[in-house]
Amino acid sequence: MSTLEQNIEKLHELLARFQKDGIKNRIAGEDREGAAGKFLNTSPVDKSVICEVAQGNSDDIDAAANAAADAFADWRDMPATERRKILIRVAEAIEARAEEIALCECWDTGQALKFMSKAALRGAENFRYFADQVVQARDGQHLKSPTLMNITTRVPIGPVGVITPWNTPFMLSTWKIAPALAAGCTVIHKPAEASPLTARLLVEIAEEAGLPKGVLNTVNGFGEEAGKALCEHPKIRAIAFVGESRTGSLITKQGADTLKRNHLELGGKNPVIVFNDADLDRALDAVIFMIYSINGERCTSSSRLLVQDTIKEAFEAKLVERVNKIRVGHPLDPATVIGPLVTEEHFNKVTSYFDIAKEDGATIAAGGTTVGDEGYFVRPTLFTNANNQMRIAREEIFGPVLTAIPFSTEEEALQIANDTPYGLTGYVWTNDLTRALRFTDRLEAGMIWVNSENVRHLPTPFGGVKASGIGRDGGDWSFEFYMEQKHIGFATGQHKITQLGK
């Protein structure tokens, strides 16, 4: 039996329970049907129905908000060392079930196992990393003034909402939920409607690892129904959101009446700039990896290649050769690089850019076609002879689609790179140190890598500028979001108090 056949067999065993029972909401440690009924979850691999999913609405959000509010004081006041132990156990349980998580994730989202097997482990790492910060998270400063001993301390903000998208949903959910729990907040998670499987696994794993009931609650459903209600709920103090930029502005509006604190991780149209003095072989590897891994459904993908005109022809020729060799196939085949796109709607969006590219006058140098009609498969695609005003250079396509744009001078490269509403990441390839310093200083992006692909390091700040987001994750930045800073001043003597009305 091939590895693919073995993986499919294992998957069928794993899916049996979802097919039988569907996915329920999980509120206060109990399964609940959705107040708005059910919706169907399908696989992008062959368009088959995976299971029924509870459709939550404002009633479910209200029940979950009450559960999260009831559970808050005990979770907040649990000794940090105890909370740490539970979170470490969650990390261990994720590791133990990494294969199950990866197989379900691939079937639900179409992402290739090659990348998803690591995503489950990165989820565990998120829990481990933030568990290790728990003990210090509440520490503040002593700031002595002439008459007062001033101290600061941090306290968890309260129950929070976490709203996540469908691309690498398990990893992204843990990235938000782990620091929130470590900070001492309780959580309501609203996973993306297109990929609910691994969110269900996460809440089960967390409860089995000892997370008290009501500390993590999962409400499935649609953004405009369950998601909106979560943003509007008065007991929810903050929303950590990952998704599209236009949804980010809805989150802000919906939370205005209840003065929500929002952390927004949004879209990108990130440039990779390749100068003619770079190590071109390594640059080529990184350019390919950063757009064709994870189906290109990755906020940090470098979807605009800015290549210096003197090397353009040779660089693009090698790129075309490599892109044409990238393997599209069943996501559970370990050799597959690109699986199907997540939904029919997203497939239609991505493939619509094949015509848009032609209408705009760009060249389709590789791909630009779909593969079979069993699922939502597309060939990895490269557009050349583009300019930065074309829609293929301005809009987030969010698929395995790269737009190459030539430039001649450093100044021109910077102007093109910054001429976008987004500002999540930038990648610069040059061996000129002074240029790298100068260029990165002026590049408008929250995260920049020089002579490297995106290598995530959890203590560093993750987030974007402009339409790519507000706020940062990682290290202590996560605790800044999930906690309130509190100042307390103690008089150290009998300082003069201004006496009024005496």
Kindly list the residues in this chain that would bind ligand NAD in the complex (CB under 6 A). 163-167, 172, 190, 192-193, 222-224, 227-228, 231, 242-244, 247, 250-251, 254, 265-268, 299, 396, 398, 424, 464, 468-469
Q: How far is the CB of 207 from ligand NAD (least distance, A)?
A: 22
Residue number with CB closer to ligand NAD (167 or 186): 167
CB 17 to ligand NAD: min, Å = 23
Helices (H), 146-227: 169-183, 197-208
- Residue 138 β-bridge partners: none
Tell me the β-bridge partners of 261.
Answer: 238
- The smaller minimum CB distance to ligand NAD, of residues 333 and 473, is found at 473
- Tokens encoding 319: 């790129």
Nearest distance, CB of residue 434 and ligand NAD, angstroms: 30
Nearer to ligand NAD, 238 or 280 (CB): 238
**Beta carbon of residue 174, minimum distance to ligand NAD (angstroms, whole number):** 13
Q: Which is nearer to ligand NAD, 86 or 162 (CB)?
A: 162
- Taking the C-alpha atoms of residue 47 and residue 35, their distance in angstroms, rounded to an integer, is 26
In 3D, which of 91, 69, 62 has the Cα closest to residue 177? 91
Q: Which residue is nearest to ligand NAD (CB)?
A: 223
Transcribe 460-493 into DSSP letters: S-B--SGGGEES-BSHHHHHHHHEEEEEEEEE-S
The nearest distance, CB 139 to ligand NAD, in angstroms, is 28
Dist. CA 295–CA 401, nearest whole Å: 9
Residue closer to ligand NAD by CB (options 316, 396) is: 396
Find the shortest distance in angstroms from Cβ 282 to ligand NAD.
25
Distance CA 478, CA 460 (A): 10
Q: By C-beta, is 100 or 473 nearer to ligand NAD?
A: 473
Sign of CA dihedral 281, 283, 289, 292: negative
Nearer to ligand NAD, 71 or 192 (CB): 192
Alpha carbon distance 160, 481 (integer Å): 10
Least spacing, CB of residue 108 vs ligand NAD, in Å:
13
Contact indicator for 36, 55 with CB cutoff of 8 Å: yes
- 299 part of the active site: yes
Closest separation between CB of residue 159 and ligand NAD, Å? 16
Say if residue 85 is exposed, middle or buried (CB neighbours under 10 Å; 0-12, 13-18, 19+).
Answer: middle
Among 100, 225, 265, 453, the one annotated catalytic: 265
Q: Which of 104, 297, 299, 396 is catalytic?
A: 299
For residue 374, count other CB atoms closer than 10 A to its CB.
12
- CB-wise, 83 or 304, nearer to ligand NAD? 304
Q: Which one, of 200, 175, 177, 157, lies nearest residue 27 by Cα? A: 200
Rg (CA), the chain: 24
Instruction: Report the C-alpha gap between 129 and 152 in whole angstroms.
Output: 24
Q: How far is the CB of 248 from ligand NAD (least distance, A)?
A: 7
Q: How many CB atoms lie within 10 A of CB 237?
A: 22
Q: Are strands 148-156 and 142-144 parallel, antiparallel or unpaired?
A: antiparallel
Q: Which is nearer to ligand NAD, 455 or 500 (CB)?
A: 455
Q: Is 304 helix (H, G, I), strand (E, B) or coil?
A: strand
- The three-state (H, E, C) secondary structure of 267-293, written as one string: CCCCEEEECCCCCHHHHHHHHHHHHHH
Q: Which phi-psi region, left, alpha or beta, contains residue 168 (left: φ > 0; alpha: ψ -120 to 50)?
A: left
What are the catalytic residues?
A: 265, 299
